[in-house]
Amino acid sequence: MPWPYRALPERDLDAVDLSTTFLGRRLSAPVLVGAMTGGAERAGRINFNLARAAGRLGLGMMLGSQRVMLERPEARATFAVRDVAPDILLVGNLGAAQFGLGYGPAEATRAVREIGADALAIHVNPLQEALQPGGDTRWAGLAARLAEVVPALDFPAVLKEVGHGLDAATLRAVAGAGFAAYDVAGAGGTSWARVEQLVHRGEVLSPDLCDLGVPTAQALRDARQAAPHVPLIASGGIRTGLDAARALALGAQVVAVARPLLEPALESSEAAEAWLENFVRELRVALFVGGYGGVEEVRGSQP
Which amino acids are annotated as binding site for substrate, given as ranges?
Answer: 65-67, 128
Length of the chain: 303
Q: Which residue numbers belong to the known binding site?
A: 35-37, 65-67, 93, 128-129, 160, 190, 237-239, 258-259
CB half-sphere exposure, 182, CA atoms < 13 A:
30
| Alpha-carbon torsion, ordered 28, 20, 37, 133, to 10 deg | -160
43 phi, psi to nearest 5 deg = -65, -40
CB distance 158 to 233 below 8 Å = yes
Distance CA 40, CA 75 (A): 7
CB distance 119 to 92 below 8 Å = yes
